[in-house]
Amino acid sequence: MRQAGRYMKEYRDLKEKYTFKEMCETPELAVEVSLLPHQLLDIDALIVFNDILIPLERMGAPLTYADGGPRFLEPVRDQAAFEKLHDIDPRTDSSSILNTISELVRLMDGEKAVLGFAGAPFTLASYLVEGKLGQGVETLKKVMFENPKFIHQLLESLTRMTTDYLSAQAEAGASAVQLFDTWAGHLAPAEYEEFALPYHQEIFKALKEKHGDTTGTILYVRDSAHLISQMSRSGADTLSIEWRTSIRQVRQQVGDQFSLQGNLDPTALFASPAEVAQRTQQILEENRGDPGYIFNLGHGILPKTPVESVRALVDTVKNFSP
């Protein structure tokens, strides 16, 4: 999941000099931050440093990053607001992340995989409609039920952008791309079928048609225990499973047509290194013998996570004999 961040002193030192947006949008800085986990922990893949909301600003949605998190200054809740948005060409409008990926691929020279990512349409719509997100998406769901045609129009526009954006990342050399639907877990299965799944399917189908098996695809939905069946029909190569669900049970449910990754609770990393190693080992043992299993966290690593515990996790995985 998310790798570089506030748990790393090296990142915090850079944050004293540059804003978050500056680090995302300056390839030299984004490369430096993306390399930090590799240099510190020698992990197996690099996740490009960026943010899922930056393409929305390129589409014409004014965005600010304050201490309380990202906020869109002009929420998109009606047709007039929607018409202020415009399509973008990621190869020019989002060139910073593409240049970052290309440079990481060059530096790694096949030694490590480089992973790209994007926000899924429902999650991007959540930010645009809510303006600022806290614990839920009540405003979006209200608009969704009052005017589903408008929400689908917004989702279709975001799907076009996301498909092109991820395709451009694949062209830049990303070994795999991950679609994050952070807020779709707030949907009931029937709502997910209507407002999230068709757009996942469209994105992954287009990527498969254009890039074949050269670029892997990953789907992550937070709070998704009730949505595994729907996720299995998304067309993604890999399903990323959050920590509330047993990966072995998911494997029994969906069969062996997918890779599965996950799913240590990120807060478990606040335990002692020995405890972290034990919990990591338990998950590895549970999935022993599964050739399509990838160890990962069940969500992004948290601020102030002890680096010693992260190192204990990485060492345990590396020393495990499947």
Cis previous bond, 287, omega within 30: no
- How many residues in total does the chain contain? 322
Q: What percent of the chain has pLDDT over 90?
A: 91
Q: Is residue 112 part of a domain?
A: yes
For the residues 197-217, what does the mean pLDDT come to?
97
Is 293 part of any domain? Answer: no
* Bridge partners of residue 70, in order along the sequence: 65
At 67, the amino acid letter reads D
Count CB atoms within 10 A of the CB of residue 136: 12
pLDDT at 4 over 80: no
Whether 1 has a pLDDT exceeding 60, the answer reads no
pLDDT band at 6 (very low <50, low <70, confident <90, very high): confident
Residue 218 belongs to some domain of the structure: yes
Q: Higher model confidence: residue 143 or residue 134?
A: 143
Q: Are 168 and 208 in contact (CB under 8 A)?
A: no
Which is higher by pLDDT, 187 or 1? Answer: 187
CA dist 173 and 110 (Å) reads 10
Residue 280 lies in a domain: no
pTM of the model: 0.95
Residue 157 within a domain: yes
Question: CA-CA distance, 69 to 204, in Å (whole number)?
Answer: 29
Q: Is the pLDDT of residue 68 over 80?
A: no
98: containing domain:
9-240
Q: Is residue 317 part of a domain?
A: no
Q: Residue 172 is encoded by which pair of tokens?
A: 């830049």
Domain holding 43: CATH number?
Answer: 3.20.20.210
User: What pLDDT, on a 0 to 100 scale, did the predictor assign at position 66?
Assistant: 78
pLDDT at 271 over 90: yes
Please report whether residue 191 resides in a domain.
yes
Average pLDDT, the chain: 94
List residues bridging with 257 in a β-sheet. none
Quote the number of domains for the chain. 1
Q: What is the DSSP letter of 46?
A: E
* Segment 180-197, tens digit of pLDDT: 999 999 999 999 999 999
Q: What is the pLDDT of residues 97-116, one digit of tens each?
A: 999 999 999 999 999 999 99
279-295: average pLDDT? 96
- Residue 133's pLDDT band, with cuts at 50, 70 and 90, is confident
Locate 208 and state its tokens. Answer: 């498969």
Domain annotation covers residue 255: no
Q: 200 and 217 in contact (C-beta within 8 Å)?
A: no
pLDDT for residue 67 is more than 80: no
Distances (CA, A) of 227 to 239, 245, 262, 296: 11, 11, 16, 19
Decide the pairing of beta strands 63-66 and 69-72: antiparallel
Between CA 84 and CA 203 the distance in angstroms is 24
